Amino acid sequence: MKLEELVEHFAEDVVAQTDAIWRGGAKTGNKHARRYSAAFDKLRAHGDAGRDALAVLLKHPRMDVRVTAAACLLRHSTAEAKAVLEEAAKGEGMVPFEAQQALLRWQEGTWALDPE
């Protein structure tokens, strides 16, 4: 599968997870979370090329996609990812909360989505 296809699957599953959560479908949401996590694992297997491919989502029109991609890219694209998370964290709701938590874990040194 091409990197662009993996990135597309990542974004689609983040959107599907968010939409499922809003409808109260935790089981479906978890299924999509596993899928975008698997897409990220495949992207990581391509090294920095895979991470660079995912970085296009830092400008995605949906905040949930931007925040999820940024949380995954904190080690690789620190400044850009932090900027996305800091902007999102200013809001209220589920996605801003997720951004706040990602930043907190990064500051604590407990973040581990993409270890070296």
**Domains annotated on the chain, with CATH:** 3-108 (1.25.40.70)
* DSSP category for residue 55: G
Residue by residue, pLDDT tens for the chain (116 residues) are: 899 999 999 999 999 999 999 999 889 999 999 999 999 999 999 999 999 999 999 999 999 999 999 999 999 999 999 999 999 999 999 999 999 999 999 999 999 899 87
Whole-model pTM? 0.95
Question: ∠ at Cα 74 (24, 52), nearest 5°?
Answer: 100
Angle between helical axes of 3-22 and 94-108 (0-180°, round to 10): 120
CB 100 within 8 A of CB 91: no
CB 76 within 8 A of CB 46: no
